[in-house]
């Protein structure tokens, strides 16, 4: 599905970012059967930008959308996640480029790992224990953002 946000932004240093109006992704959390917190990760299709790495379902923001709207829509498109299944708890700008382009990570919870349906942008979708996320080959931007996102999640859940 093509929106008015699809397209590249190129910074003066040549760095490229997908999403004319920025981009957003969904960091979806659920309690796992063993008591750990699971994170839904997307193994990006090899043909995609930074393909073969693990990251979050997400993509380009359209001009009429908030970052939360974008993250929820993209999770629906890429992972079959319905917005009625989740509760948004935070939205964090995890990257801002010199051009002003931003990536916002939307943190949301579900009561249990929901069933996913991958589209062509995903080689695989997997619920991964939070403690094991950084053991995967992460998308570079997600890898950079992951430590601060973990801190933010701990702040959201001080009892853990």
**Residue 137 within a domain:** yes
Residue 99 domain flag = yes
- Helix-strand-coil split of the chain, %, nearest 5: 25, 35, 40
Q: Which domain holds residue 51?
A: 8-156
Q: What CATH number is associated with residue 133? A: 3.90.79.10
Residue 3 lies in a domain: no
> Is residue 87 in some structural domain?
yes
Q: Is the pLDDT of residue 94 over 90?
A: yes
Distance from C-alpha of 122 to C-alpha of 9, rounded to nearest angstrom: 23
Q: What is the pLDDT of residues 7-17, one digit of tens each?
A: 999 999 999 99
Residue 2, in any domain of the structure: no
Answer yes or no: is 1 within a domain.
no
Cα–Cα distance between 103 and 93 in angstroms, integer? 6
For the chain, the domain total comes to 1
pLDDT tens-digit series, residues 58-92? 999 999 999 999 999 999 999 999 887 799 999 99
């Amino acid at each position: 599905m093509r929106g008015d946000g699809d397209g590249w932004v190129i910074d003066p240093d040549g760095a490229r970012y997908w999403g004319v109006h920025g981009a957003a992704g969904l960091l979806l959390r659920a309690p796992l059967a063993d008591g750990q917190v699971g994170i839904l990760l997307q193994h990006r299709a090899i043909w995609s930008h930074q393909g073969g790495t693990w990251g979050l379902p997400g993509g380009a923001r359209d001009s009429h959308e908030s970052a939360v709207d974008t993250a929820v829509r993209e999770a629906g498109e890429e992972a079959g996640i319905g917005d009625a299944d989740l509760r948004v708890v935070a939205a964090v700008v995890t990257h801002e480029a010199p051009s002003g382009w931003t990536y916002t990570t939307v943190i949301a919870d579900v009561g249990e790992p929901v069933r996913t349906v991958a589209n062509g942008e995903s080689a695989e979708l997997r619920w991964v224990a939070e403690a094991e996320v950084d053991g995967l080959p992460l998308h570079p931007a997600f890898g950079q953002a992951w430590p601060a996102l973990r801190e933010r999640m701990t702040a959201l859940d001080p009892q853990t």
